[in-house]
């Protein structure tokens, strides 16, 4: 068979297994957005200063940048499905390690674990984007929705575990044990993904023309500033909810923080319609200004209702922006074979935004 002109063109891609595996892996690594549930307990359990309690999210974000920047060579060698499985397994190992070090009261161990785990998040995210892009070429809704749905579902599920299991009164050993169980579950999902999709063949070009892609620095900068408001919100989700008393603005039957994740999912689901109506470039540009304005509104919010509306809008725009970003990248490259490299380079700005968000939140608290 002649080599494909696309480095990640799928020769066989049963839609249902691909969709299920993609959602499951995004669900797993999407729990990186729920680290504030752990972070809010660190001052109580480890005596960490509040300004330093945001560091786990920054460590994972730094690892994420490393992951997306190194993923391309792995895609060429192993194919996107194997890389997605490896990334999810690595994240699961990191989560389990985080639980272990929490039970041993080692803050440094937690940071190192999440730094390594962030690499797995980057591998999985880019590999799944490549996978669904080629598995669903004529289904823009599937391409745009799977990522935000997975991330929002994983985050919402873990947020809800906090009050159900009374994280705020658990000892470090008990909370660490729960986190270890979560890591084991993610390892199982990563392993199942690799096994479930092991029969899917991938043609990959081995020559270095993939590296001829030259991702736009302006697009990287645009992603950084577009992602920054959402990353600020995610890195301080629990503290923001407590500060603004967002939970008090919704009934107990409709939990506040998990409901915020509906906005993230809705952004991915509605992204094709919004970008089709306004155009991809105009939509991304408007989101840039909208999120900046919303971040200012959130910082000046005088009541829970205003903070809730601003947070919902920020997360909706976050989901929409990441869903239409691949289309912007594809419009700037000369060949589909350049997409994994170009997109991976641009996504480094996503992790950088997470690091910047961590620093900003730490400075604000201090």
CA distance 93 to 116: 9
The answer to whether position 205 is within a domain reads: yes
Domain membership of residue 158 (yes or no) is: yes
Q: Considering all CA atoms of the chain, what is the largest pairwise distance in Å, rounded to the nearest integer? A: 64
Cα angle value 121/98/46 (rounded, 5°): 135
The domain in which residue 243 lies consists of 9-365
Any domain includes 1: no
Q: Is residue 356 part of a domain?
A: yes
User: Across residues 108-114, what is the average pLDDT?
Assistant: 98
> pLDDT per residue over 62-108, tens digit each?
999 999 999 988 887 888 888 999 999 999 999 999 999 999 999 99
The CATH number for 254's domain is: 1.20.1250.20
Are 289 and 227 in contact, with CB atoms under 8 Å apart?
no
pLDDT per position as a tens digit, 160-194 = 888 889 998 999 999 999 999 999 999 999 999 88
Task: Judge contact between 317 and 258, C-beta under 8 A.
Answer: no
Structural domains counted in the chain: 1
Between 126 and 216, residue with greater pLDDT = 126
- Residue-wise pLDDT tens digits, 336-357: 778 888 899 999 999 999 999 9
- Indicate the SS3 state at residue 10: strand
Question: Domain for residue 316, yes or no?
Answer: yes
Domain-embedded: residue 49: yes
Query: Is 169 within the bounds of a domain?
Result: yes
CA-to-CA separations, 200 to 15, 17, 150, in angstroms, rounded: 11, 10, 22
Does 136 fall in a domain?
yes
């Amino acid at each position: 068979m002649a080599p494909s002109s696309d480095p990640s063109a799928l020769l066989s891609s049963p839609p249902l297994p691909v969709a299920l595996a993609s959602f499951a892996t995004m669900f797993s690594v999407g729990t990186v957005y729920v680290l504030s549930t752990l972070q809010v307990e660190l001052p109580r359990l480890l005596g960490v200063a509040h300004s330093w309690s945001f560091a786990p999210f920054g460590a994972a974000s730094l690892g994420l940048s490393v992951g997306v920047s190194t993923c391309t060579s792995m895609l060429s060698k192993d194919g996107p499905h194997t890389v997605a499985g490896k990334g999810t397994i690595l994240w699961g190992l990191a989560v389990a390690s985080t639980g272990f070090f929490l039970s041993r009261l080692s803050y440094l161990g937690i940071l190192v674990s999440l730094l390594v785990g962030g690499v797995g998040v980057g591998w999985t995210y880019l590999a799944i984007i490549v996978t669904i892009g080629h598995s669903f070429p004529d289904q823009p809704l599937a391409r745009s929705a799977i990522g935000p749905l997975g991330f929002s579902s994983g985050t919402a599920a873990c947020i809800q575990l906090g009050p159900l299991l009374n994280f705020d009164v658990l000892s470090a050993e008990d909370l660490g044990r729960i986190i270890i169980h979560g890591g084991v579950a993610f390892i199982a999902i990563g392993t199942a993904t690799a096994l479930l999709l092991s029969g899917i063949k991938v043609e990959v070009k081995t020559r270095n023309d993939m590296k001829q892609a030259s991702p736009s620095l302006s697009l990287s900068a645009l992603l950084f500033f577009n992602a920054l408001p959402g990353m600020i919100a995610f890195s301080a989700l629990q503290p923001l909810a407590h500060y603004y008393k967002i939970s008090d603005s919704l009934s107990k039957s409709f939990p506040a923080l998990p409901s915020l994740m509906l906005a993230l999912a809705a952004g991915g689901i509605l992204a094709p319609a919004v970008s089709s109506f306004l155009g991809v470039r105009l939509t991304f540009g408007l989101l840039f200004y909208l999120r900046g304005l919303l971040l200012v509104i959130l910082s000046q919010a005088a009541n829970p209702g205003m903070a809730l509306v601003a947070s919902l809008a920020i997360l909706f725009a976050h989901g929409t922006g990441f869903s239409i970003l691949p289309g912007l990248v594809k419009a700037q490259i000369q060949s589909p074979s350049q997409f994994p490299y170009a997109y991976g380079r641009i996504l480094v700005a996503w992790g950088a935004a997470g690091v910047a968000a961590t620093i900003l939140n730490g400075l604000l608290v201090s």
